[in-house]
Amino acid sequence: MAEKKNAALDTLLNVLKTSGADAWEVTDQEEKGWEFYFIRHSLDQHRAKDVRSFNVKVFKKFEDCLGSAEAAVPVDASEAEMRRTVEGLCSDASYVRNPAYTLNKPCAAEAEKQAEEIDLEAISGDFIRTLASVPETETEDLNSYEIFASKITRRFLNSEGIDVTVTYPSSMVEAVTNARKDGHEIELYRMFKAGTCDREQLTRDLTEMLTCGRDRLVTVPTPALQKADVVFSTDPALQLYEYFMDRTNTSMVFRGMSDWKVGDAVAPENMTVKAVRTLPNSSRNAAYDPEGAPIRDLALVENGKVVSYWGGRQFSQYLGMDSSFSASNFTVSGGTESAEALRSGDFLEVVEFSDFNVDSITGDIAGEIRLGYLHQNGKVTPVCGGSVSGSFPELAKTMRFSKESRQYNNVLIPAVTRLSGATVTGAENA
């Protein structure tokens, strides 16, 4: 079987080398995984998968321009089929005129060190035991859940001589909970992504989910608060911090969608945003990016100022960066206050939106409230409806964030974030 797989790749490489393409890239990715489907806590079905795919990108040069086109190529395609696909890509690439840039070349970066074999049985077992141990009540419980545990092996080759392979775990849990009260019932859905299982964090996430279901049943309409302090302590907070990550991306900068320059003050003075090579339990712990560039730790925002950009080869090279990479994990640090201190006084803590978005270009934020906790005069009231909106570049000037952290797969951010002066529209005005 291994010989057959290698033969397919060898055939594809030979087709590319004789195709007339001026340059090329190939990604050979295999995913081996286990899947489990539970109703309540009873296993309904399970299966294993082993999927392999080729992705090919070809380049054609024209004076000071470079055209490209890419497509998936079936692993079981015949040589004739591969050649037709590649010839079609060469033709398509001839119609594209991007400013010229060069592909990544091999470097002397340290190869990935696989600490131990990725054990799908152990990873799956950790998830199954964690889901089975979630503390349920007579009125809040898990309706169903699905567990997906995979081992990804990605090999990248290009015409410059790069040939690197990375292997990492990638997992996902989809859960549905039910909460009941006085003849009413509500169902909530969540998706959790990770590499391996962090049992403590997943238990906290699922317990939080059960609590949200319980409290959704006793909400009152959100009042019109006009301008208010809003606290973020769940995954919508990611959007706030991804704004800084997006606007330091070379694609955004080159295309004028971000006007941030190195040295600009763009965040609170105590904030540091970094791209990091690894994070515990992340599903993005690869030593090389999808274009074969080695991933390393890199500060993007330090003490509130832009210090570097990150991004793929094309736009990074347009900005004069020759050792760029596409980051896979990020951390945000520098909080000086406790989570408890950030939850003092009057404020609205929104833990669930129907949708929440921070526009990376305009900075506009908007989200419809599904569940929030209104803290007023020492009283806490669960609320629903209405919305939160505002201009994040302005709100970021008021941003306070905790010393404590919370991880969402490949991003580690402050556990609690507080913004002052956000617009809160009441449910009756929505």
**Has residue 112 got a pLDDT over 60?**
no
Is it the case that residue 92 has pLDDT exceeding 80?
yes
Euclidean distance between CA atoms 136 and 206, whole angstroms: 10
Residue 3 has pLDDT above 80, yes or no: no
How many CA atoms, within 13 angstroms, populate the side-chain half-sphere of residue 54? 25
Is pLDDT at 352 greater than 50 in this prediction? yes
Instruction: Quickly count: other Cβ atoms within 10 Å of residue 319's Cβ.
Output: 13
pTM: predicted TM-score of the whole model, two decimal places: 0.94
277 phi, psi to nearest 5 deg: -65, -45
Q: How many residues does the chain have?
A: 430
Res. 113 pLDDT band, cuts 50 70 90: low
> CB-based contacts of 430: which residues, under 8 Å, 6+ apart?
368, 385, 386, 387
Distance CA 26, CA 59 (A): 12
pLDDT band at 116 (very low <50, low <70, confident <90, very high): low
Evaluate if residue 338 carries a pLDDT over 60.
yes
DSSP secondary structure code for residue 405 in this structure: E
Burial (CB < 10 A; 0-12, 13-18, 19+), residue 342, is buried
The yes-or-no verdict on residue 111 having pLDDT over 60 is no
132: which 2 tokens? 């089975």
Taking 70 as the threshold, does the pLDDT of residue 429 lie above it?
no
Asked if residue 72 lies in contact with residue 90, where contact means CB atoms within 8 angstroms, the answer is no
What pLDDT is attached to residue 430?
44
Residue 319 has pLDDT above 70, yes or no: yes
d(CA 289, CA 328): 8
Q: Using pLDDT thresholds of 50, 70 and 90, give the confidence band for residue 231.
A: very high
**Which has more pLDDT, 376 or 430?**
376
Question: By C-alpha distance, which of 180, 177, 179 is closest to 191?
Answer: 177
pLDDT band at residue 405 under the 50/70/90 scheme: very high
| For residue 110, pLDDT beyond 70 | no
What is d(CA 73, CA 29) in angstroms, rounded to the nearest whole number?
Answer: 12
* The predicted structure's pLDDT at residue 107: 85
Query: Per-residue pLDDT tens for 173-211?
Result: 999 999 999 999 999 999 999 999 999 999 999 999 999
Residue 2 pLDDT class (50, 70, 90 cuts): low
Angle CA(76)–CA(81)–CA(86) in degrees, nearest 5? 110
DSSP sequence for 293-358: PBP--EEEEETTEE---B--HHHHHHTT-SS-----EEEEE---B-HHHHT-SSEEEEEEEEEEEE
* Residue range 37-76, pLDDT digits in tens: 999 999 999 999 999 999 999 999 998 999 999 999 999 9
Residues 398, 33: Cα–Cα separation, whole Å: 45
Mean pLDDT, rounded, for 242-259: 98
- Count of alpha carbons within 13 Å of 80, Cβ hemisphere only? 0
Beta strands in 101-235 (DSSP E): 140-158, 163-181, 184-194, 220-221, 226-232
Q: Phi/psi at 97 (nearest 5 deg)?
A: -130, 85
> 3-state DSSP helix/strand/coil percent for the chain, to nearest 5?
25, 45, 35
The answer on pLDDT for 419 being more than 50 is yes
DSSP code for 8: H
If one compares 427 and 346, the residue with the highest pLDDT of the two is 346
What local confidence, expressed as pLDDT, does residue 343 receive? 97
Mean pLDDT, rounded, of the chain: 95
DSSP state of 15: H
